[in-house]
Chains A and B, each alone.
Chain A
């Protein structure tokens, strides 16, 4: 069992470039989410999904797109990277019912120059 796998682990982009952060889980979890972690601000929810074909916005969705075509995968797209999007990005998954623990990937450290 790999759990939640995020790729790449590190990425440097120039302002205006686009890219996709990959997230895959092998636990058959319905719920998947993307967070960004910035110093002194904890984790903030970007987008989330409660199942294949269903996505919704979190606290800080601007500049990011997501899709959920399968239960396993939940990619996060940066359409036109900006320096303000420099952060560490975490993908998480969980079962949907009750107060289930979220399983986090190891993160993608993204720098926008």
Chain B
């Protein structure tokens, strides 16, 4: 069974601080996706990274795919209360099958 270990599982910080969420595996993935989930809703895709070493930016969010395509990170700069939510990483194993990490529940305090 391929596993994705996400850390930390819980993170509570003050508005304006920076943070990084990590997603690690011993398996190689063809791509890695990051989702954000609000209470009572399904996950919504933030970004897909495909190439080893790839970096993508989405406003204050920076996503990186590891060179070996086994790990990824999400960095948020100057966090805002609107960033609060559950962040999920998911590795693609082919034919669209995804393996999800446990999720990071992020709380940004005003």
Contacts and interface: CB of A to CB of B under 8 A. Distances in A.
B97 A107 contact: no
Nearest to A101: B45
A41 B102 contact: yes
Given A59-B1, A99-B48, A92 B42 contact: yes
Given A31-B96, A104-B42, A42 B103 contact: yes
Interface string B83-107: 0000010101001111111110000
Contacts of B50: 99
Interface residues on B, range: 20 to 34
A36 B45 CA distance: 18
B73 interface: no
Interface residues of A, number: 26
Contact of A102 (B41, B98, B101, B102): B98
Contacts, number: 62
B18 interface: no
B45 A102 contact: yes
A94 B96 contact: yes
B1 A45 contact: no
Interface of B: 1, 4, 6, 9, 30-31, 33, 40-45, 48, 50, 88, 90, 92, 95-103
Interface of A: 4, 31, 33, 35, 40-45, 48, 50, 58-59, 90, 92, 94, 96, 99-102, 104-107
